[in-house]
């Protein structure tokens, strides 16, 4: 769980102001569980709105994106300009990650995905930034995701990854267990990191009345990711971990992690976390308190 949570307090359902969310992030740095925190999430175009801060802090920015490739690439230049200006002005800020949704059209036209992924990665890598590409959900998602992963496989020596949206504020925002398992296995096979966002406030899969849907648990998702990476699990085996709603099956001890007889040692967990990187959450308190209630913290 080290540095697993990117704090995104300005996004739903928290919907805090940027100032309040950033104040929380600064306060969390002194929390006993601050080792779980990674970066503060915000749009690149809003970096200049952040108040002054003294500590060295890390950020992941969300790119403007675009409806078509030309608009996307023009907006990418604006994002990079915003990041450079912020980094020049705030010497104690580390902006080393960017997340951006690709235009759906670039994932349907022949060779378009290769071009836009390569150009985006090159531009951001030159500025010391790793980029996670998101494939828009909806009808045809898997076909688009396959095209994106083929493009990422070709540039996996660069600092690139695949971003998976794991929920939202409505039931239709939650991908199925099959989709999540597919993404875990396919990113492993492509040799690129996987980052998740939204819908992972709680450690264990459960039904949430507020959205009238089953919510994925972050222990399910990252437990599945770590075990799939280290044990070469199939998609069906991965799905079994993702659908488990019994917290007692997720066992941590001094030498590693176990789920129903499948084990991974601490050293292998560290290696696997380079693949299963982190998740964005608008809450730090909920994941922390849930883990404490399960006697895992």
| Tokens found for residue 239 | 């799905």
Q: Show the domains of the chain with their CATH numbers.
A: 5-293 (3.20.20.70)
Confidence (pLDDT) at 142: 94
Dihedral sign (CA 196, 201, 206, 209):
negative
Confidence (pLDDT) at 69: 93
Measuring CA to CA, which residue among 123, 121, 64, 56 is closest to residue 95? 56
State the first-to-last Cα distance of the chain, in angstroms, to the nearest integer. Answer: 11
Confidence (pLDDT) at 110: 74
Confidence (pLDDT) at 211: 87
- pLDDT for 153-199, tens place per residue? 999 999 999 999 999 889 989 999 999 999 999 999 999 999 999 98
CA 48 and chain centroid, separation: 23
Q: Which residues pair with 163 in a beta bridge?
A: 134, 195
For the chain, residues with pLDDT lower than 50 are: none
Measuring CA to CA, which residue among 123, 160, 153 is closest to residue 277? 160
Burial zone of 136 (CB within 10 Å; 0-12 exposed, 13-18 middle, 19+ buried): middle
């Amino acid at each position: 769980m080290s540095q697993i949570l990117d704090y995104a307090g300005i996004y739903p359902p928290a919907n805090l102001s940027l100032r309040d969310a950033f104040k929380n992030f600064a306060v969390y740095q002194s929390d006993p569980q601050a080792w779980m925190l990674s970066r503060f999430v915000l749009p690149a175009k809003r970096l200049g709105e952040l108040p002054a801060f003294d500590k060295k802090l890390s950020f992941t920015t969300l790119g403007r994106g675009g409806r078509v490739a030309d608009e996307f690439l023009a907006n990418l230049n604006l994002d990079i300009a915003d990041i450079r200006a912020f980094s020049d002005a705030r010497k104690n800020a580390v902006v080393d990650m960017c997340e951006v949704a690709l235009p759906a059209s670039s994932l349907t036209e022949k060779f378009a995905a290769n071009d836009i992924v390569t150009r985006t990665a090159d531009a951001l890598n030159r500025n010391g930034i790793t980029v996670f590409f998101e494939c828009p959900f909806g009808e045809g998602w898997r076909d688009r995701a396959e095209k994106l992963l083929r493009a990422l496989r070709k540039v996996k020596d660069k600092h690139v990854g695949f971003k998976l949206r794991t929920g939202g504020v409505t039931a239709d925002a939650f991908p199925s267990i099959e989709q999540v398992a597919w993404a875990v296995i396919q990113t492993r096979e492509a040799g690129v990191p996987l980052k998740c966002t939204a819908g992972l406030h709680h450690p264990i899969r459960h039904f949430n009345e507020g959205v009238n849907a089953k919510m994925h648990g972050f222990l399910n998702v990252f437990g599945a990711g770590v075990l799939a990476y280290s044990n070469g699990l199939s998609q069906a085996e991965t799905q079994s971990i993702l659908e488990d709603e019994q917290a007692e099956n997720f066992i941590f001890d001094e030498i590693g992690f176990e789920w129903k007889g499948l084990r991974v040692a601490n050293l292998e967990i560290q290696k696997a976390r380079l693949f299963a990187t982190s998740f964005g959450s608008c809450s730090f308190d909920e994941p922390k308190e849930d883990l404490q209630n399960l006697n895992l913290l």
